Structure 1
Amino acid sequence: MGPLDRGVLHLLDADRTLLRSLPNPLTPQEQARIRDARPAGPPPTPATQPLRVERRVSSRGVLVIAGQKIHVGIGHAGRTLTVEDADTTFRVHDGDQFLTEVPQRAVRSNLI
């Protein structure tokens, strides 16, 4: 039985906002030994704002998000930029300055 056959593990914040979903790493035997387990509550609420992550730009001016390379220019090499996940695009910001918006090409399960 592979990890994907065991279901999905959802990581939530205190307000039950979905932060990340991962394959469940626990075997059925390990799940049975969890103390004070209780049934799941209502489904998690999706995030209301776009997901934002930070990525460091390589020495060649490229950052990678969800397996996709985004060229932002060698002038940004070594800097940490913010990438915002829109519905079908990635938006790249350097602080408050908008740099670029590129279409999402990779199928991704998680950005983090």
Structure 2
Amino acid sequence: MQITDHGVLLRSLPNPLTPTGMARIRDARPAGPAPAPPAGPQRVDRRISSRGALVIAGQKIHVGIRHVGATLAVEAADTTFRIYDGDQLVTEVARSTTKPIARHKVRKPEPPCRTIPAQRLPA
């Protein structure tokens, strides 16, 4: 199963249907031409951790404490990762992994933990 956006391949996933399940789909038709891989460097967003780092394709990159909680754009080329804050280049790091980028969207931040206030005991 391939997910595309205007003919550009975003990601491939295993087909969740069995052969009998595929035969039961109504109005099924053959797929069109295979989607083209994205042209040029791939650009994804990442949220900076509380320690000032992000992980992309299994590689941890430190961008600094001042970017904590920010969502930065990462441009993945063949040999480097370029991290942008808006249009400004923050850093360029050599790529040390050959893994493909598995996640293309930023995870939503977790809601803050609600703690129950301690109850006061009668004196």
TM range (shorter): 0.7 to 0.9
- Contact 2:58–2:97 under 8 Å retained in 1: no
List per-residue Cα deviations over 1:33-66 (Å, max 9, x = no partner): 2221111222212222422111110110011112
Deviation, 1:98, is 0.5
Residue from 69, 75, 87 that aligns with 1:84: 75
Matched, 1:30 2:21: yes
| TM superposition outliers: structure 1 runs of 4+ over 6 Å | none
Question: Structure 2 unaligned runs (5+)?
Answer: 105-123
RMSD: 1.7
AA aligned to 2:13 is L
List per-residue Cα deviations over 1:4-43 (Å, max 9, x = no partner): xxxxx11122x32212111222222222222211112222
**Inter-CA distance 90–70: structure 2 relative to 1 (3 Å threshold):** same
- Contact 1:92–1:100 under 8 Å retained in 2: yes
Richer in strand (by share): 1
TM-score by length of 2: 0.73
Distance in 1 between the 2:80 and 2:25 partners? 40
Corresponding residue of 2:49: 58
Describe the SS at the equivalent of 2:33.
Answer: coil
Distance in 1 between the 2:42 and 2:96 partners? 14
Question: Structure 1 unaligned runs (5+)?
Answer: 1-8
